[in-house]
Amino acid sequence: MMSAVPPEQLASWLESALGWENIHFHSALSGGNSNLTWRFQSGDRACVVRTPPVNDISPTSARGIQREAEMLQAIEGFAVRAPAVLAWCDDASVIGRSFLVQEFVDGRALTDTLPGSYPNTVDTVNSLGADLIDQLAVLHCVPTDLPALAKLGRPERFVARQIERWISVRQEHSVRELPALFALGEWLGAHVPEAVAPAVIHGDYHLDNTLASPDEPKILAIIDWELATVGDPYMDVALMLMFWGEYRTQEPPAFTALQSISRRSGVISRRELAGRWAESVGRPLHHMNFYMALAFWRLAAIIEGAYGLFLAGQLTSDYARGLEYDVPALLAEAERAARGDW
């Protein structure tokens, strides 16, 4: 869904803040989760403005944009491929809520097809997968003791708190009978691995939250940092791997369109990518069955809420309708992953 057109006064504010002349609204950019994403142009220069929707100014959405700004500023200067922060505005008199101004990255969001300039081969997809996991490793090597990160994470009991939170949410807001959700939640809670050294994590890392080069299979930038924090890096790895590759235990798999470009015969496997990450960051892979199960289970627990909105008539999209199947399919994949089948 495309974003709304921004208020006219925003261009004037950008001219003053950035020192650019003749700034004008260029286009709304799709994606970006629930936030509005607008491209502005000044000659051959461009920037991106990200802000919560006008009809959804909740403390959570506002904090997400602020977290994105703070995290991007904290990791600036390291080798992480991410848009630079150009400005931050928390003056509500400008457009009615806070907004973030970022560098514009001329990349492509890849979903179900490769750009026409890419060779349509398995090697191309493998290059994307390798770069995707390599860039995650770069992020996980950013020092966590940076002063700017001090208030951006609470790594103590990070995994256990995630499990407890989503069990509680689903108990409080029950949508339908899903005994596997609670059984798996109990199993996960009883098998949380010992705490690992925390890392800077993205929180929603997968191919759809990156921008790729228009010319070659290479990741130019990681985007959508609203959930970034200091926590358990294995959760990032498992989430990225969850939709990668041709191997699935359910037919059809949940979300057949997501990262479908990787679902071709001979593509690099999840386990190969996990091993590549482990070698890069110097961490073991002793508990990946647990983390893969957690990734499938946690996503199921989160999106079951959207299925509840569909049943209540508040969401009518094909995505929401498909959750009738997708949530149980994710839980089934979680059960298999817990046994090492991923």
Q: Indicate the helix (H) or strand (E) that contains 230.
A: strand 229-231
Which SS3 state, helix, strand or coil, does residue 314 take?
Answer: coil
C-alpha span between 210 and 49 (Å, rounded): 17
269-278, Cβ contacts within 8 angstroms, sequence gap of 24 or more: 269/245, 270/241, 270/244, 270/245, 270/342, 273/129, 273/130, 273/132, 273/133, 273/240, 273/241, 273/244, 274/133, 274/237, 274/241, 276/130, 276/133, 276/134, 276/137, 277/133, 277/136, 277/137, 277/140, 277/237
Predicted confidence (pLDDT) per residue in 109-131, tens digit: 998 899 999 999 999 999 999 99
pLDDT of residue 5: 78
Q: Domains in the chain, please, with CATH?
A: 9-103 (3.30.200.20), 143-208+222-258+284-338 (3.90.1200.10)
Lowest mean pLDDT among 178-182, 212-216, 315-319, 337-341: 315-319
Q: Indicate the helix (H) or strand (E) that contains 41.
A: strand 36-42
C-alpha span between 243 and 257 (Å, rounded): 10
pLDDT of residue 57: 47
* pLDDT grade for 160, boundaries at 50, 70 and 90: very high
Are 288 and 234 in contact, with CB atoms under 8 Å apart? yes
Predicted confidence (pLDDT) per residue in 174-223, tens digit: 999 999 999 999 999 999 999 999 999 999 999 999 999 999 999 999 99
pLDDT of residue 56: 55
Predicted confidence (pLDDT) per residue in 41-71, tens digit: 999 999 999 998 876 545 566 789 999 999 9
Whole-prediction pTM value?
0.93
pLDDT > 70: percent of the chain: 96
Which SS3 state, helix, strand or coil, does residue 126 take?
Answer: helix
Predicted confidence (pLDDT) at residue 1 exceeds the cutoff of 80: no
Are 296 and 242 in contact, with CB atoms under 8 Å apart? yes
* pLDDT grade for 328, boundaries at 50, 70 and 90: very high
Predicted confidence (pLDDT) per residue in 284-314, tens digit: 999 999 999 999 999 999 999 999 999 999 9
Are 149 and 74 in contact, with CB atoms under 8 Å apart? yes
Predicted confidence (pLDDT) per residue in 226-282, tens digit: 999 999 999 999 999 999 999 999 999 998 878 889 999 999 999 999 999 999 999
